[in-house]
Structure 1
Amino acid sequence: MLTAIIMAGGSGERFWPLSTPEKPKQLLNIFSDKTMIRETVDRILPIIDRENIFIATNELQAKAVINELQDIPKENIIIEPAFKDTAAAIGYTSLIIETRLKDKLKVDEKIEVVVLASDHLIRKENEFRDVVKLAAKEASENGVIVTLGIKPNKPETGYGYIEVKEDNALLLNEVYKVRRFREKPNLETAESYVASGKYLWNSGMFIFTTETIFKNFDVLMEEHTDVFNSIRKKIDKNISGIELTNIVREDFNHFEKISIDFGIMEYSKNIRVIPVDIDWNDIGSFNALEEVFHKNDSGNIVRYCDVNELDSSDNIIIADDIKISLLGVKDLVIVKNGNKILIANKNRTQDIKKIIQK
């Protein structure tokens, strides 16, 4: 039985001032008339029933998520009582999925889970759905965790990389063993990764069965398993929403704050990767918009506003209800949302969260 966990608890700090804690990037309609989380749900609806799609979010954003996704059962909006990173979020939501669906399984049927971000852009949707089904089959039949690796088209320093155990050229939509995960490299290292042909971008999308993920927690994150065992005794398939959140609130305080990448993916011995070409972008910063939107004759990207420009090029301008004049400026990001304005050099957009935390 194929299910989905859509991770929707991030604050999108690198998209400030468009993104705020109450209305983060996934709740913005940046690329179409749909919000990014709506696009994520619609992308998988052809292969996963609404009743089997679960949203992992937090108390601050839960109301907005529920309003945005009214076709998803309200009890499938899982509200984490504290942010303890993705290991806790994925494990906790997998536990709820297992509790809710175990009585519906056929003999020998397993629960496959695909973990997706709520704020990624995927243009080749049919190819994406096909590879998710392939990954779910591999995960179920062989008891492995499968991740989707993006074939790099440039030496990108903003992504983590996956090194593949393979001597021959990597083929799309084939299953390979993972040698190791690599952190975001410097430019020279990224160039060597791409030249070798043995590295893929880490998309952060994972597919596994609930049985497999909890076995990995048992071996690699025993303290998380202890918390899950405590939670398992308290939850009931008929309890949901803030009532369930309050029941597990104390347990959540015992989770170590750690990502599933550091806790499991980097150490597990049963990880597989499928190289894919799905026109993917994680939209990690404003700079990513250059790969998505058309530039005008000056190389500027202009969204939602009028711009008067002279001798100005390669800027990104997003604003509401205002006319902006540019004179002799280059490589800037200018964003206005309400009474908040950001003006930043394009090579510093990864640091936006540092300035809003002051």
Structure 2
Amino acid sequence: MPSRTKAETPRFAPVILAGGSGTRFWPRSRRARAKQVLALDGEQTMIQQTLTRLLPLANPADVWVVTNSLLDKTIAEQLPNVLSEHILSEPAARNTAPACALTAFLLFNSAPDTVLGVFPSDHVVENGKRFAQVLQAGIEIAADGENIVVLGVPPTRPETGYGYIEQGDVVAEADSASGGVPIKIARVKRFREKPDRHTAERFLAAGNFAWNGGIFLWSARTLVYAIREHSPEMAPILQEIAAAYGTPNFARVFAEQYPKCENISIDYAVLERRSAKGEHKSGIYCLPADFGWNDLGSWASLHEHLGEAEADNVLDGATTGIVAIESSGNYVYAPGKMVALLGVDDLVVVETPDALLITTRDRSQDVSKVVRALHDSDRHELI
């Protein structure tokens, strides 16, 4: 089991991934108003919530955001305490491997021991205190040598929409603050792709599988070395970009070089390849993300998050009232409107000034098909 001998607290730099096109929450989300800059479950936007829960462990000056040119100005306005030079706009979307590794290369020469944490910008955490406890334990492990830490969400259903982490031996338990539930630290056997229903049921029954929530911890040095080993064609590109950071040439070099990076996820580029070494050699550890995690991936998951029961009618936003007669399980967002439901179940109704979405909760994962249809019919003003 990894253990640190240094007394000092590791420097921690969160990297918030905030790209994305916002298709699954259409019509509220658009290319320039994606899910992460919307307030879907409170007064704060999703990215503001992400930063807020990280601040107990991180200095705002150490926070980085990787986004795109459609969202960077909005994010800078919503996160005024994050340094403007730490908000990086990708010249081209290249999946999560280049986005995760870019900051590691930027910090490698000056602060290679910094522990980087990768965090999606659009997830929900219900128990912020437990989140901080698990994260602190993970930071300590990631600061020790070449270890990599992943946070695995305890599965509650045979979900086919997530990747899975197959856990091996539990090697230790980290104490949590104030006598809370100990944090089990398990080796990672391997990462599993999104399964079919039968396989997902088998994973759930096995008891040693967790959902991959996309939260990772590693030192800048560890990730740079891992990219050099497992994705060697990407390393010199990112190294050249890092060398130009802080100079007048950075924007040009970034725009010219970054699109040359392979379009690949960090899971494929590093984690799966490193886990192939075997659970006792890979140095990858899994900690439980047992803090009420939800990725809010669709209108249906937002209904689940906001409603107390499956049959609840959820009235969201500034809708002025609802009359529900023989109707249940519906999600409604219609600001300024009184909504009447009569004899309908499990619908999603979302109104914006220029669009109206009506679908069922079990089809809400397919809302991106509407966006594709609008694109194909040149209705770009609605995207």
Alignment TM-score > 0.5, same fold? yes
Deviation at 1:46, TM superposition (A): 1.2
Q: 1:276 is matched with which residue: 276, 289, 308? A: 289
The 2-side partners of 1:114 and 1:45 are apart by: 13
Q: 2:324 is matched with which residue: 309, 319, 331? A: 309
Identity over the aligned pairs, expressed in percent? 32
SS at match of 1:222: coil
Gaps of 5+ in 1: none
Deviations 1:107-147 (A, max 9, x none): xx711001101111011111111211211111121312110
SS at match of 1:330: coil
Q: 1:326 is matched with which residue: 332, 338, 341? A: 341
Whether 1:58 aligns to 2:68 is: yes
- Contact kept in structure 2, 1:169 and 1:197, CA below 8 Å: no
Tell me what 2:225 maps to.
Answer: 215
Deviation at 1:350, TM superposition (A): 1.3
Q: 2:162 is matched with which residue: 149, 159, 162? A: 159
Deviation at 1:50, TM superposition (A): 0.9
Q: 2:351 is matched with which residue: 299, 313, 336? A: 336
Q: 1:285 is matched with which residue: 292, 298, 301? A: 298
The 2-side partners of 1:275 and 1:74 are apart by: 33
Deviations 1:185-232 (A, max 9, x none): 233222221111110111100000011111111111111112123223
Deviation at 1:295, TM superposition (A): 5.2
Q: 2:143 is matched with which residue: 125, 140, 155? A: 140
The 2-side partners of 1:336 and 1:46 are apart by: 37
Residues 10-49 of structure 1 mapped to structure 2, 5 A cutoff: 10-49=20-59
Q: 1:186 is matched with which residue: 187, 191, 196? A: 196
Counterpart amino acid of residue 195 in structure 1: A
Counterpart amino acid of residue 147 in structure 2: V
Greater mean deviation of Cα atoms: 258-267 or 319-328: 319-328
Gaps of 5+ in 2: 1-10, 174-180, 276-281, 374-383
SS at match of 1:13: coil
Counterpart amino acid of residue 348 in structure 2: V
The 2-side partners of 1:168 and 1:253 are apart by: 41
Q: 1:206 is matched with which residue: 193, 216, 231? A: 216
The 2-side partners of 1:112 and 1:169 are apart by: 21
Counterpart amino acid of residue 158 in structure 1: G
- Contact kept in structure 1, 2:108 and 2:221, CA below 8 Å: no
* Residue 133 to residue 167, structure 1, CA distance change in 2 (3 Å): closer
Q: 1:252 is matched with which residue: 232, 247, 258? A: 258
The list of structure 1 runs, each at least 4 consecutive aligned residues, that deviate by more than 4 angstroms after superposition, is 167-172, 295-298
- Contact kept in structure 1, 2:68 and 2:91, CA below 8 Å: yes
Deviation at 1:310, TM superposition (A): 2.2
* Residue 345 to residue 93, structure 1, CA distance change in 2 (3 Å): same
| TM-score (normalised: structure 2) | 0.85
The 2-side partners of 1:213 and 1:2 are apart by: 14
Deviation at 1:167, TM superposition (A): 8.1
* Residue 169 to residue 208, structure 1, CA distance change in 2 (3 Å): closer
Q: 2:153 is matched with which residue: 142, 150, 154? A: 150
Tell me what 1:224 maps to.
Answer: 234
Deviation at 1:262, TM superposition (A): 1.6
The 2-side partners of 1:233 and 1:97 are apart by: 10
The 1-side partners of 2:343 and 2:185 are apart by: 51
The 2-side partners of 1:294 and 1:343 are apart by: 19
Tell me what 2:184 maps to.
Answer: 174
- Contact kept in structure 2, 1:27 and 1:36, CA below 8 Å: yes
Q: CA RMSD in A?
A: 2.2
Whether 1:353 aligns to 2:363 is: no
Deviation at 1:326, TM superposition (A): 2.0
Deviations 1:56-113 (A, max 9, x none): 11111111011111111111111211111111111112222445xx2xx5xxx71100
The 2-side partners of 1:296 and 1:163 are apart by: 31
- Contact kept in structure 1, 2:241 and 2:250, CA below 8 Å: no
Deviations 1:295-314 (A, max 9, x none): 58962111131222222221
* Residue 53 to residue 315, structure 1, CA distance change in 2 (3 Å): same
The 2-side partners of 1:168 and 1:257 are apart by: 35
The 1-side partners of 2:250 and 2:322 are apart by: 49
Greater mean deviation of Cα atoms: 163-172 or 63-72: 163-172
| TM-score (normalised: structure 1) | 0.91
SS at match of 2:274: coil
The 1-side partners of 2:62 and 2:361 are apart by: 40
The 2-side partners of 1:297 and 1:77 are apart by: 39
SS at match of 2:341: strand
* Residue 114 to residue 167, structure 1, CA distance change in 2 (3 Å): closer
